[in-house]
Structure 1
Amino acid sequence: MKKLKKIIASTLIFTSIFSTTVLAKEASEDLNLIGTSAISVDLETNDIIYAKNIDNQMFPASVTKLMTALLLAENKQKNDLLTYPKEALNEAPFSYGLNVHPVTPGDTFTAANAMDILLLYSGNDIAYMIAKNIGGTVDNFVKMMNDKAKELKMTNTHFVTPNGLDDNINDHLTTSYDLSILLKAVMDNEWTSSILGKKESEVKSTNGPTAKVENRNKILGENGNIGGKTGYTEKAGRCLAAVYERDGRKIATVVLNSEYNLPEDSKVFEDVAKLADYSYNAEKKSLLAKDTELESKTLKYNVFPLLGPERTIRVPVTVKEDVLAYETSLEPEVKYELNDVSAWKLNKNKPIGKVTVKIKDTINQYDLYPTISKMDLVKQNIIVYIVVLAIITALIVIILKFINKRKDRKRRSVRFYR
């Protein structure tokens, strides 16, 4: 039986891979995005709607600050004070202390103001300040970033800086897929998600004047864009991770290494807008059709329960609902697991196994039902049952006749002796 299971399992895996390749195609041919890596994900179902080089490691630039913001939200209260370190003055533009208003080392910011400057203005010095205040040292904070990435299962991510600056750094890397996971975590956090949706904010250090910072996400509020984080370095190209909401449905979009076309700076926003429109219009295609034979299991059974002769029957299985998936460059993995079951207990309305559909890290399972029942066993062996029934009937008739003859003889004997 174990050998039979192994053979069936191997066949099922081969069949599933062969049958699902028709869904896979190069998504990059659909939209012609400038960005060399892109993804869109339904935040409720985790379905990947669009995929282009989603596991290629890339430089994320200031999209990195989403992780810094998440750790700030998890480790500080809004009214907590963060001290501005002198080393923050050495961080490159855009920096609050260099480009908005000078800051004296030792001055403080509330965590709320720091969050606004981090996510709206994308201040590199503020990211450094947050790292130093939470981690004690920037290196400790970066370890916290990487630990959080592991916790979120961002398996292809390695952070080196809290702000995404990558001069003389070659291993500050992530993927568009991993960033979609991070973006979901940020949107699940009430504080960080609310800041991504702000167009502007008035901020200040404790001893400094009030300044206004504006969100660098140019398409915030357009066509359902409810938040996003931009980024740019020469290594990273133009990047944007953004979330859309239309008709109550939220979709995360990430585009990496798009074009930075100054002075308009429009290409990455066009990429993301195009990706969002595509994602909301995309429809799932049939991966496994309901009520069609998907696989089969061969069962042994006795023609008469608990008695011989022994026979085998092929039991096709199916699902009672269409299994749907989006067409992307990702290849679905479909695996079947069929239980050991008595052929005499087959019921078309009782499952005898599961089919598992895995696309990237999203796994869904569906019940598998037999397409035959125990009555089909009866039909398959009807001639045997008729013959056996005829034999039993004949035997009963013979026995009854024998009994009746004995009774007649006994009656005749009684009359004779009278």
Structure 2
Amino acid sequence: MKKVTLLKSMVLALSLSLFSPIISVKADPITVPKIYAKSAVVIDMDTMEVILDLNSEDKMYPASTTKLMTAILLAENKSKEENLTYTKSAKDQPAYSLNASVKPINIGTTMTAGDVMKALLLYSANDSAYIIADNVATDSDSFIKMMNEKAEEFGMKNTNFITANGLHNENHYSTALDLAILGKRSYDNPWVRETLSIKEDSIQLPSNDKFLMENRNKYLGKNGNLGGKTGYTTEAGKCFVSIYERDGRKLVSVVLKSIFDGEDLAMFNDTEKIIDASYSAKKTILINKDDIVETLPIQYKSFGFFGPSKTIDVPLIVKEDIEYYENPINKKYLEKDINTAGLNPWKLNKNLSAGKLTLKEPLSSKKYVLYPSVSKSDLIKANLLIYIGTLICTILIITIIFFFKSKVKRNKNKKRYF
């Protein structure tokens, strides 16, 4: 009977609290500075909290920021010293390729994977992406499948890759939020991270010529910029995925569909603005310390294992301020999940956990301990009249039994006497 009662209490508690709305205290949301980009986002690399959001779920064309995924797959499947063969699909790529922009390369010649990685991320060579695709997979179509599988593994829910280099295709799309995930994953990979941090370097072409390359990230090394990948097509506009570190704290930023100004600095300035705003952003208090998060009606038996079934309202509180970054996407997806599994009303203690509160945001979640505002003593007080009544009845019954036993004994003694 006890197990059934506790199970009912647990189910009732969860049904009342799962996915219930959160009411935040009044505070100013994170303000997005004026930028040219149509979509932008900044996330904390350690916590995966979204700090700043501007249309970050809108489907956009990612252009050459796509090459971050291509770089990850190269790093996961090849070593720097391995030779990669120059393929026909690589030679078929248009401008901004080594073959078309630097020097013709013959199909079948080789380059080291290390040099191909540099060509991909520093010079953004379109043919280098297809050298990788054809050498990592059996063909470029198989590689595209690998890209999409990896995107799904990363939790990039609104991304679809059609090309290995990001050249325009109507069905090749992503979002700022998904590209922020990709930026974090790229930086987590040692080889990709190392390459993104190179300001300039040279590679050896199959013709044995040395080709000097300068990183297209013009802000590399400035104001905490650790690395990033640029992108541009007419349809995509100027795009930039970048990683920053200030005071030991790393952030990933994404700007999409910025403008191509005369000095080609608009997307970099957009990035600086949202990064500055994010580093100075303050969290909003969502739930104050000692505030009631939820009040749960819990069923119990007056005498623990037996007795009348009763219900007590158990207010659950947190003993710390709960904060979050207030922005459109966090407000949209913020979700509260309360778990009181195994809660025994007769073991309630104001200083012991009564359950867990999980707050879910778009890319992160955090758990908090919930404490009851009532204790076992409150249950005893609530049932005091029952206990007193039971005690009185028990005393009366014992008295009556004792009386009758005494009477029977006296009668027996009388019979013996006569």
- The TM-score, its normalising length taken from structure 1, stands at 0.87
Residue of structure 2 aligned with 1:19, choices 12, 19, 23: 23
Asked whether the 8 Å contact 1:297–1:338 carries over to 2, the reply is no
Q: Give SS of 1:335's match.
A: strand
Residue of structure 2 aligned with 1:374, choices 359, 373, 376: 376
Which amino acid is 2:381 matched to? K
| Cα displacement string for residues 46-99 of structure 1 (whole angstroms, at most 9, x for unaligned residues) | 111111222211100110111111111111111111122344343222122232
1:313 is the counterpart of 2:312: yes
Segments of structure 1 that go 5 or more residues without pairing to the other structure are: 408-418
Q: Give SS of 1:350's match.
A: coil
Matched with 2:188 is 188
The alpha carbon displacement at 1:210 in A equals 0.9
Alpha-carbon distance between aligned partners in 1 of 2:88 and 2:299, rounded to the nearest angstrom: 78
Matched with 2:226 is 226
Within a 5 Å distance, the mapping from 1:124-143 to structure 2 comes to 124-143=126-145
Q: Give SS of 2:315's match.
A: strand
The change in CA–CA distance for 1:225 and 1:392 in structure 2 (over 3 A counts) is: same
Matched with 1:56 is 58
Within a 5 Å distance, the mapping from 1:47-196 to structure 2 comes to 47-166=49-168, 169-196=169-196
Which amino acid is 1:251 matched to? L
Matched with 1:301 is 300
Alpha-carbon distance between aligned partners in 1 of 2:148 and 2:387, rounded to the nearest angstrom: 70
Alpha-carbon distance between aligned partners in 2 of 1:88 and 1:117, rounded to the nearest angstrom: 13
- State the Cα RMSD in Å: 3.3
Which amino acid is 1:79 matched to? E
Asked whether the 8 Å contact 1:107–1:205 carries over to 2, the reply is no
Which amino acid is 1:12 matched to? S
Matched with 1:265 is 264
Which amino acid is 2:237 matched to? G
Higher relative contact order (CA 8 A, sep 6+): 2
Matched with 2:415 is none
| Cα displacement string for residues 10-49 of structure 1 (whole angstroms, at most 9, x for unaligned residues) | 54357x3252596795x6x531222111111111111111
Q: Give SS of 1:146's match.
A: helix
The alpha carbon displacement at 1:251 in A equals 0.7
Alpha-carbon distance between aligned partners in 2 of 1:143 and 1:340, rounded to the nearest angstrom: 45
Which amino acid is 2:199 matched to? K
| Cα displacement string for residues 83-125 of structure 1 (whole angstroms, at most 9, x for unaligned residues) | 2234434322212223233433333211111111110010112
Matched with 1:245 is 245
Alpha-carbon distance between aligned partners in 2 of 1:304 and 1:148, rounded to the nearest angstrom: 57
Identity between Structure 1 and Structure 2 (%): 43
Which deviates more from structure 2 when the two are superposed, residues 305-314 or residues 105-114? 305-314
Which deviates more from structure 2 when the two are superposed, residues 349-358 or residues 300-309? 300-309
Which deviates more from structure 2 when the two are superposed, residues 86-95 or residues 245-254? 86-95
Alpha-carbon distance between aligned partners in 2 of 1:329 and 1:31, rounded to the nearest angstrom: 15
The alpha carbon displacement at 1:213 in A equals 0.1
1:204 is the counterpart of 2:204: yes
Alpha-carbon distance between aligned partners in 2 of 1:92 and 1:220, rounded to the nearest angstrom: 27
| Cα displacement string for residues 285-340 of structure 1 (whole angstroms, at most 9, x for unaligned residues) | 22222321111122233444445344322111112222221111122111223336
Matched with 2:414 is none
Matched with 1:344 is 346
Asked whether the 8 Å contact 1:60–1:256 carries over to 2, the reply is yes
Matched with 2:416 is none
Alpha-carbon distance between aligned partners in 1 of 2:274 and 2:232, rounded to the nearest angstrom: 19
Q: Give SS of 1:283's match.
A: coil
The change in CA–CA distance for 1:122 and 1:21 in structure 2 (over 3 A counts) is: farther
Matched with 1:414 is none
Which amino acid is 2:227 matched to? G
The change in CA–CA distance for 1:303 and 1:86 in structure 2 (over 3 A counts) is: closer
The alpha carbon displacement at 1:260 in A equals 1.0
The alpha carbon displacement at 1:225 in A equals 0.4
Q: Give SS of 2:42's match.
A: strand
Asked whether the 8 Å contact 2:87–2:107 carries over to 1, the reply is yes
The change in CA–CA distance for 1:173 and 1:305 in structure 2 (over 3 A counts) is: closer
The alpha carbon displacement at 1:403 in A equals 11
Q: Give SS of 1:296's match.
A: strand
Alpha-carbon distance between aligned partners in 2 of 1:17 and 1:309, rounded to the nearest angstrom: 34
Alpha-carbon distance between aligned partners in 1 of 2:28 and 2:17, rounded to the nearest angstrom: 19
The change in CA–CA distance for 1:190 and 1:399 in structure 2 (over 3 A counts) is: same
Q: Give SS of 2:292's match.
A: coil
Matched with 1:275 is 274
The alpha carbon displacement at 1:352 in A equals 2.6
Matched with 2:37 is 35
The change in CA–CA distance for 1:24 and 1:233 in structure 2 (over 3 A counts) is: farther
The change in CA–CA distance for 1:69 and 1:23 in structure 2 (over 3 A counts) is: farther
The change in CA–CA distance for 1:162 and 1:389 in structure 2 (over 3 A counts) is: same
- The TM-score, its normalising length taken from structure 2, stands at 0.87
Asked whether the 8 Å contact 1:39–1:49 carries over to 2, the reply is yes
Asked whether the 8 Å contact 1:103–1:208 carries over to 2, the reply is no
| Cα displacement string for residues 188-232 of structure 1 (whole angstroms, at most 9, x for unaligned residues) | 110000000110111112432112100000110011100000000
Within a 5 Å distance, the mapping from 1:320-399 to structure 2 comes to 320-330=319-329, 331=331, 332-339=334-341, 341-382=343-384, 385=387
Alpha-carbon distance between aligned partners in 1 of 2:228 and 2:304, rounded to the nearest angstrom: 65
1:217 is the counterpart of 2:217: yes
Alpha-carbon distance between aligned partners in 2 of 1:149 and 1:76, rounded to the nearest angstrom: 19
Which deviates more from structure 2 when the two are superposed, residues 236-245 or residues 182-191? 182-191
Which amino acid is 1:269 matched to? F
Asked whether the 8 Å contact 2:25–2:287 carries over to 1, the reply is no
The alpha carbon displacement at 1:355 in A equals 1.9
Alpha-carbon distance between aligned partners in 1 of 2:305 and 2:16, rounded to the nearest angstrom: 30
Alpha-carbon distance between aligned partners in 2 of 1:155 and 1:55, rounded to the nearest angstrom: 10
